[in-house]
A = this chain, B = another copy of it.
Amino acid sequence: MTDIARAPTPQPIDLLLSARWVVPVEPAEEVLEHHAVAVDAGLIVEVLPAAVADAKYAPRERVRLPDHALLPGFVNAHTHNPMILLRGLADDLPLMTWLREHVWPVEARVMGPGFVRDGVELAIAGMLRGGTTCCSENYFFPDVQAQVYRQHGFRALVGLPIVEFPSAWAQTRDEYFDRALEVHDRYRGDALVSTSFAPHAPYTVADAAFERIRTLADQLDLPVHLHLMETAQEVEDSKREHGVRPLQRLQKLGLVNDRLIAVHMTQVTDSEIATCAEAGVSVVHCPESNLKLASGFCPAEKIRRAGVNLALGTDGCASNNDLDMFGELRTAALLAKGVAGDASAFAAAFALQAATLNGARALGLGERIGSITAGKRADLAAVNLDAVETRPLYNVISQLVYAASRRQVSDVWIDGKRKLAAGELVDFDLAGVLDKAHRWRDRIAGTRCTPMS
């Protein structure tokens, strides 16, 4: 017998996805045609041409995405997801009227573990349907949030709230810290849920609490997720009360470093942008919330050019009113051009990176998720581009950013597990979740709403 060349035995893996286009985000602007993503034990093993993958791997499950772009799942870097239950309760109002006369009185009535659980579940349904696989959460009852995210296999950075007023979650500053540390301990090392400190804002947190946060964040290696310079009023108040702008105050307190996730930043100056770049601060831009609340225009293109890590967030549904990262990245790309007065600003590929990889980096998860890269966890979203709205097609990334919509997301995986299949949620009691949302609506509106059908 003569020796013959033998094909090596195909390697068994959990999952092989072959897509018309793979958009790995890293490197930026790359679009791989007819490529496959090999996944095993929740990990991206390899990204390779589909034809090569077919010979090399023996997957237990194979998914073909013939008209689709496969992307890293979106990272929504700033949410208050339980507030989804207040979606559209009050709109078109000045910020303080909205908060004082609508949001806060309602929250005082209803906020608790049930409200948080039911809100987060509804938010997860919406996020999955829109291709979002990770969020940075910022609300009361982080213990409940963490439990719900874990139960649904959804990746989250859960903020541990610190604020100087009592709430249903904690009464005193000490209690806020005690409960924060409890939640942190419980989820230490969890595969999907991690925690950050979430002091609400410079104007609702005292220096003493910030100092304690700095010490603990350093010891525990946690990000600090904070609303910062959202409005001009905040800057004026800080100057009057503390003699300095909010960022300077945080600098004095030792918080301006690469742990800081600074959300909004509509009032940031050029020199403050330079400070953030040097210190490794991440900025989360929430363009739709900033517009809707008339908070000001974040100079997103300047921040990008300075090399600051710029991520995107929807903010809560009470001020957006959705969790649509497709909408948010499109608004970010459009608005940045208008604000910069430059049509070439904040190009499509950057918008996609801001909504994925930069979000992951802001959350301290840049090594684990945010791009389709061997060695990262398999958090993926497939977008079907075979639709009237995305034809003709010249440029996949342009189409994703400027023409596609959340409803074209067909399939989603988190940590290698399928969460959305052909547009349908997997293992999710959607009817039950919607029914609970409806009950909250009746309770909050204080009226019986006749059933929708």
CA distance A398 to B320 in the complex (A): 11
Quick check: A88 and B398 within 8 Å, CB to CB?
Answer: yes
Q: In A409-438, which residues have CB < 8 Å from any B CB?
A: 430, 434, 437-438
Asked if A338 and B87 make an inter-chain contact with CB atoms under 8 angstroms apart, the answer reads no
B-chain residues with CB within 8 Å of residue A98 when the two chains form the complex: 343
- B445–A394 contact, CB under 8 A? yes
**CB <8 Å contact, B87 and A392:** yes
A244 within 8 A of B: no
Contacts of A371-402 to chain B: CB distance below 8 A: 385-386, 388-389, 391-395, 398-399, 402
A293 nearest CB neighbor, chain B only: B343
Selected contact of A337 from candidates B87, B291, B344, B441, CB within 8 Å: B291
Q: Does A214 interact with chain B (Cβ within 8 Å)?
A: no
Most buried by B among A321, A394, A406, A441: A394
Please name all residues of chain B whose beta carbon is closer than 8 Å to the beta carbon of A126 when the two chains form the complex.
388-389
- Residue among B122, B294, B391 making CB contact with A343, cutoff 8 Å: B294
A28-66: CB near B (< 8 Å → 1, else 0) gives 000001000000000000000000000000000000001
Q: Is the CB of B340 within 8 A of A88?
A: no
A402 and B291: CB pair below 8 A? no
Say yes or no: A393 contacts B20, CB within 8 Å.
Answer: no
- Given A392-B85, A452-B66, A321 and B403 touching (CB < 8 A)? yes
Binds B, one of A89-97, A142-150, A155-163: A89-97
CB distance from A355 to the nearest CB of B (A): 16
Distance between Cα atoms of A346 and B294 in the complex (Å): 12
* Interface residue? A292 (CB, 8 A): yes
